[in-house]
């Protein structure tokens, strides 16, 4: 595949690409249960308009683009208020992973300055914490120390306490965790960190823009934000339940001194004095502008209206799934992220039976289970989904098909004792993703 010598007319290209969207999953009608957080055509239009207007702007220089400076600082300030501390400071980033990388970097560089005796820093991670933390540890030289979860699938605080050493610099909890949607015992985890005078990061990438509205709607929401003593940083994704465009998240700190450890500066470059708050250099100003537009378009009322739809939909799914013989929801999800498993059905075979019916479910491991992130796009999908799930469960229960294809491979790899082979299989897979198809 080479760069074409002659360019194609815009219209022809646009048609060609429009046709290629048929290769993609149907996210609009709720057939997919991850990746896309669609909150309706009106929201999409607000995002598109703001994005287009600020299309060429670069968030690298808020001084050249004063509009972006206003947008970013106001988005951060609004988020800080939602998360229980109007004084909190922070930045917008490209996503949850970058926000988490920044929290781990701030903790690491804080420890380098304030705990110089620590030479091999460690962080405590519940096994359900997002791999972005492991990635951050891998990039930044902070060793992840994994702790188990309790029977209720929340982080085991006793295990966290037992895992603390003189080298621990950071304790992490999720609000909620991705695999099963439960919130870790944040007050207890934060208290451990506070006692030791170290950092505590709450990963609210999923819950940061939903839990505050659930609280206003009087759902029981366990404490998770800056109102909890000892919490030093929080990540909250705009591109998940904030419903903004892909490439938008926030990272917040209670204390501005801790945030300074997130920054980078180079004073001697011939290209000029260089400073950068986050991982990225150039940043799409359009994504920042679109997020500001959306927060102002929806407001508290708009987010509460969406939150109600999401929770009603999630409850209908929880009840419906639990009512299907052989299936059960794992734990007690605190919002609208759920997983279910089965004592007697092959859950990966069930996923394939659902795929044959047009539904895309994420496969989880340890234990084998299936995953749903419930968004407003799923409201109309509940009935057909549950009908198909009931039918698929019956089929798997009576015919006992063995999973084939991806699901079969997933089943083998997730239980293979030799994890080195599994790591290698993952790398092979990633490698294949950027090889153009021969056809």
Distance CA 174, CA 225 (A): 11
Q: How many CB atoms lie within 10 A of CB 243?
A: 27
Under rule CB under 6 A, residue 174 binds ligand PLP: yes
3-state helix, strand, coil in the chain (%, to 5): 45, 15, 40
83 contributes a contact to ligand PLP by CB under 6 A: no
- With contacts defined by CB under 6 A, name the span among 95-103, 316-324, 344-352, 389-397 that binds ligand PLP: 95-103
Q: How far is the C-alpha of 202 from the C-alpha of 208, rounded, in Å? A: 10
Of 178, 253, 292, 359, which lies in the binding site for ligand PLP, with binding defined by CB under 6 A?
Answer: 178
By the rule CB under 6 A, 206 interacts with ligand PLP: yes
- Residue 130 within binding range of ligand PLP, rule CB under 6 A: yes
Size of the residue set binding ligand PLP (CB under 6 A): 12
Which tokens belong to 212? 């505050």
Is there binding between residue 95 and ligand PLP (CB under 6 A)?
yes
Q: Where are the alpha helices (DSSP H) in 323-381?
A: 347-355
Q: Which is nearer to ligand PLP, 327 or 335 (CB)?
A: 335
Contacts of 14 (CB under 8 A, 6+ apart): none
| Per-position DSSP letters for 259-287, written without gaps between them | HHTT-EEES--TT--EEESSS-SS-BHHH
Closest to 392 in 3D by CA, of 336, 350, 434: 350
Distance of closest approach, residue 177 Cβ to ligand PLP, in angstroms: 6
Strands (E), 40-154: 89-93, 122-126, 143-147
- Shortest Å distance, C-beta 430 to ligand PLP: 15
Contact characters 413-432, ligand PLP, x per CB under 6 A: --------------------
How far is 184 from 177, CA to CA, in rounded Å?
A: 8
Binding residue for ligand PLP (CB under 6 A) from 32, 132, 245, 324? 132
**Contacting residue, 122, 156, 184, 203, with ligand PLP by CB under 6 A:** 203
Please provide the size of the chain in residues: 439
**Which residue's CB is nearer to ligand PLP, number 242 or number 403?**
242
Q: Is residue 184 at the binding interface for ligand PLP, with CB under 6 A as the rule?
A: no
CB-nearer residue toward ligand PLP: 100 or 163? 100
Smallest CA-to-CA distance from 2 within 436, 439, 432 is with 436
Specify the stretch interacting with ligand PLP by CB under 6 A; choose among 61-69, 89-97, 137-145, 146-154: 89-97
* Among the listed residues 319, 314, 323, the one whose alpha carbon sits nearest the alpha carbon of residue 390: 323
Rounded to an integer, what distance in angstroms lies between the CA atom of residue 318 and that of residue 300?
26
Quick one: which segment of 24-32, 200-208, 321-329, 339-347 binds ligand PLP (CB under 6 A)?
A: 200-208
Nearest-approach distance from CB 230 to ligand PLP, in angstroms = 20
The contact pattern for ligand PLP, residues 241-260, with x = CB under 6 A and - = no contact, is --------x-----------
Give the footprint of ligand PLP on this chain (CB under 6 A).
Answer: 95-97, 130, 132, 174, 178, 203, 205-206, 237, 249
């Amino acid at each position: 595949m080479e760069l074409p010598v002659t360019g194609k007319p815009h219209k022809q290209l646009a048609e060609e690409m429009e046709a290629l969207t048929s290769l993609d999953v149907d996210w609009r009608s709720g057939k997919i249960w991850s990746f896309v957080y669609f909150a309706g055509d009106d929201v999409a239009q607000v995002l598109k308009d703001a994005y287009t207007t600020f299309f060429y702007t670069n968030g690298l220089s808020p001084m050249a683009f004063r509009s972006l400076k206003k947008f970013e600082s106001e988005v951060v300030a609004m988020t800080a208020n939602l998360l229980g501390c109007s004084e909190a400071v922070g930045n917008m980033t490209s996503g949850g992973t970058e926000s988490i990388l920044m929290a781990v970097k701030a903790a690491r560089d804080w420890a380098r300055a304030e705990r110089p005796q620590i030479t091999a820093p460690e962080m405590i991670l519940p096994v359900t914490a997002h791999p972005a933390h492991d990635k951050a540890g891998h990039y930044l030289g902070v060793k992840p120390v994994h702790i188990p979860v309790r029977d209720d699938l929340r982080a085991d605080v006793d295990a966290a306490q037992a895992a603390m050493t003189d080298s621990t610099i950071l304790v992490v909890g999720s609000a909620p965790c991705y695999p099963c949607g439960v919130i870790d015992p944040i007050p207890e985890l934060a208290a451990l960190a506070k006692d030791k005078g170290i950092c505590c990061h709450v990963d609210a990438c999923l819950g940061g823009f939903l839990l505050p509205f659930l609280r206003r709607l009087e759902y029981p929401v366990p404490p998770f934000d800056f109102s909890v003593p000892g919490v030093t940083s929080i990540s909250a994704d705009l591109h998940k339940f904030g419903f903004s465009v892909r490439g938008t998240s926030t990272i917040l700190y209670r204390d501005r001194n801790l945030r300074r450890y997130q920054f980078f500066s180079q004073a001697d470059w011939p290209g000029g004095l260089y400073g950068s708050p986050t991982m990225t250099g150039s940043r799409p100003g359009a994504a920042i502008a679109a997020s500001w537009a959306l927060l102002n378009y929806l407001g508290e009322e708009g987010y509460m209206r969406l939150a109600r739809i999401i929770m009603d939909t999630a409850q209908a799914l929880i009840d419906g799934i639990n009512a299907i013989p052989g299936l059960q929801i794992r734990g007690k999800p605190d919002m609208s992220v759920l997983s279910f498993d089965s004592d007697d059905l092959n859950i990966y075979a069930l996923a394939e039976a659902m795929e044959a019916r047009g539904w895309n479910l994420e496969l989880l491991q340890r234990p084998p289970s299936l995953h749903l992130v419930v968004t407003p796009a799923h409201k109309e999908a509940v009935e057909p989904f549950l009908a198909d799930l009931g039918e698929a469960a019956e089929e798997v229960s009576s015919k006992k098909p063995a999973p084939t294809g991806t699901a079969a491979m997933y089943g083998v790899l997730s239980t293979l004792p030799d994890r080195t082979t599994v790591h290698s299989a993952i790398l092979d897979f990633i490698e294949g993703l950027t090889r153009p198809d021969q056809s």
